[in-house]
Each structure stands twice: as C-alpha cells, then as structure tokens.
Amino acid sequence: MMMYHTPALLNESIEGLNILPDGIYVDVTFGGGGHSRGILDRLATGRLLALDHDADALANAPDDKRLIVERGNFRFLRNYLAHHGYRHVNGILADLGVSSHHLDATERGFSFRYDDAPLDMRMNGAAQLTAKAVVNQYPEDSLKCIFAEYGEISDPGRLARQIVAVRQKAPINSSGQLIEAIKQSIPRGAENKYLAKLFQALRIEVNSELESLKSLLSQSVNLLRQGGRLVIITYHSLEDRLVKNFFKNGMFEGIAEKDIYGNTNVPFRPVNNKAIVPSSEELTHNNRARSAKLRIGERN
C-alpha cells in the first residue's frame, strides 16, 4: 500500500503539544493519521478528535476507542466539539500542507506535473467550487487579485488577461491547457517556482484556506484551556504570517491593542519566537517538508 502522507515535523509538533495523558486533543487535519497516532501514543485515558474534510483521509483512521473521527472542515471545530460534549480542550494541532496523496493523485488536480490532470483542487471532493470554475468563470479583475494576494505573482494583470483571452476561444479544462495558455508569462529558468505560485493561488481560493485558518485561530482562544497548546505547521508565507501575528499580537494584522493603562491582552504566548523547520535528516527522507514551519502558542 502506498504511503498516504509522511507527516512533517512529527516529533517537534507532538512535543509542542505538551500532552497530558488524560487530556482532550484535536487534530484538525488528520490526513494520513501520522500526527494523530503520535498523539494517541501519549494518551492514557485522554481522547482525540480528528477532523478532515476529505473522505480518502479518514479511511486511514485506526480502530481506537480513544479516537473520535469526523469528516468536516476545521472552521466548524467549535460545533464538532460541542456535538461530542466538549467545551474546552488541552491542545489543537493543524498541519496545513497538501498531502502527498493529493499531490500524487492525478485526478485531484493539485499538481502541475500532470498535463492531463483536471483543474479540480478541492480538498473536499463534495464541494462545488473547482479550479476549473475559477479559471473559466471568474472576472479578469478577480483573477488578478487572487494571483497577487494568494500567489504573490509579479504582474498578475498580464497573467489574468492571458487566461481570459484563451478561455474566450475554448474552455481551459486541464493543467496542461492552463500552462499552455499562460506560457508567455512563465519566466525561463523559474518555471516550477512560478507554476507553484499559480497553483497555490488557485488552491487557496478553491478551499478558502486563509479564511478557514483565521476561523481556527479565532476559535482556539475560547476552546483551549489555560496552558493549552495550539500547534500549527504552515507551508507558505501567507499562512505563517497569520499565525505569527496572531500568537504575537492576538491579531492577524497590525499590533496588539492596549488598554488605558498601556497593557495588552494577548491570548497566546509564543512558545517558540522563531519558527521550527525540518532538520537536514528529516529532509533526506521527506523532501516535501522543506517549506514547513512550526509555530507553537500557549493559551494565557
């Protein structure tokens, strides 16, 4: 059986949770179950709630009476916890990357390596919005904004114009057709980096990834017990910036607000001021973890 996904920063993230044997924990991105198994290994009478909105991922769930599995998006975490009778938990873990399964499954359309891959990119296969709909139906200005904000692509207007010009003649249905449509914008010698930014931008839009992350961070303030840990693994600067600012200032942008006495009321204490990155040893076994960054916050 092919490995579904090799978890990044496994030991570091499990250590970061500071697990209590009788605690209640949540893995909001179950994936291949690597992080969840690491948490279960340290639990005695505690419980673990595992979430994933991809049915393929939940097929990896072990048969363990301490494990509760739910198919769903972590932006609704509070609802899932309430459904099982939990108001507060001791730790929450999120590994925000795209799984190896998603990248390697041609039919999911997450990778630009496969010319005949459909423009899908849905984490949840039951969701309505696809990358094909974004590419073929979004107005030019909207495409420009997506490429600029989510892909940080230089000259996003030119890219958007090229896509609109091509789709007026025929729909863009596959990764190969999209790459062909924008070939004049792709810089020589940096093809893979440019396409990675483009596919990242489309994936973030399709799955509302940044809005979901903001929702998770905001909910965690009321869901975590005092001293509880929030452990987040990110894979690009947009996510990492949100997490870093939230741990430092309690906000997604700007600096923490002060009361009339000059005091700040920041909900989290950053456990690590500098992001933890994979060791060279880990990268020899899992090169896809090369962009992973781990940040840990403790609830004040």
What's the mean per-residue pLDDT of the chain? 89
In a domain? residue 4:
no
Same domain, 121 and 111: yes
Radius of gyration of the chain (CA): 20
Same domain, 217 and 184: no
pLDDT of residue 1: 34
| Strands (DSSP E) found in the chain | 24-27, 47-52, 67-71, 89-95, 224-234, 268-270, 293-299
User: Would the pLDDT of 107 be above 90?
Assistant: no
CB 60 within 8 Å of CB 80: no
Higher pLDDT among residues 55 and 90, named by residue: 90
Q: Max alpha carbon distance in the chain (Å)?
A: 63
Same domain, 75 and 92: yes
Q: What is the pLDDT of residues 114-143, one digit of tens each?
A: 567 899 988 887 789 999 999 999 999 999
Same domain, 63 and 28: yes
Q: What is the pLDDT of residues 142-178, one digit of tens each?
A: 999 999 999 999 999 999 999 999 999 999 999 999 9
CA–CA gap between residue 188 and residue 129 (Å, rounded): 32
Domain, as residue range, for 76 = 10-100+209-299
pLDDT of residue 127: 84
Higher pLDDT among residues 253 and 77, named by residue: 77
User: Would the pLDDT of 187 be above 70?
Assistant: yes
End of a domain among 168, 185, 207? 207
pLDDT (mean) for 217-245: 96
Same domain, 96 and 214: yes
pLDDT of residue 258: 65
The domain that holds 32 is classified in CATH as 3.40.50.150
Same domain, 68 and 114: no
User: Would the pLDDT of 4 be above 80?
Assistant: no
Same domain, 286 and 157: no
Look at the chain and report how many structural domains it folds into. 2
pLDDT of residue 231: 98
Residues 237, 193, 233: CA angle, nearest 5 degrees: 30
In a domain? residue 220:
yes
In a domain? residue 151:
yes
End of a domain among 207, 230, 263? 207
Q: What is the pLDDT of residues 14-23, one digit of tens each?
A: 999 999 999 9
Cβ-based neighbour number of residue 160 at 10 Å: 24
Q: What is the pLDDT of residues 237-284, one digit of tens each?
A: 999 999 999 999 998 876 666 666 666 778 999 999 899 999 999 999
End of a domain among 169, 184, 207? 207
CA–CA gap between residue 220 and residue 74 (Å, rounded): 11
Same domain, 90 and 177: no
Same domain, 232 and 281: yes
Q: Which spans in 131-236 are helix H?
A: 131-137, 140-149, 156-167, 175-181, 191-207, 209-223
pLDDT of residue 5: 64
Same domain, 78 and 160: no
In a domain? residue 5:
no
Same domain, 56 and 79: yes
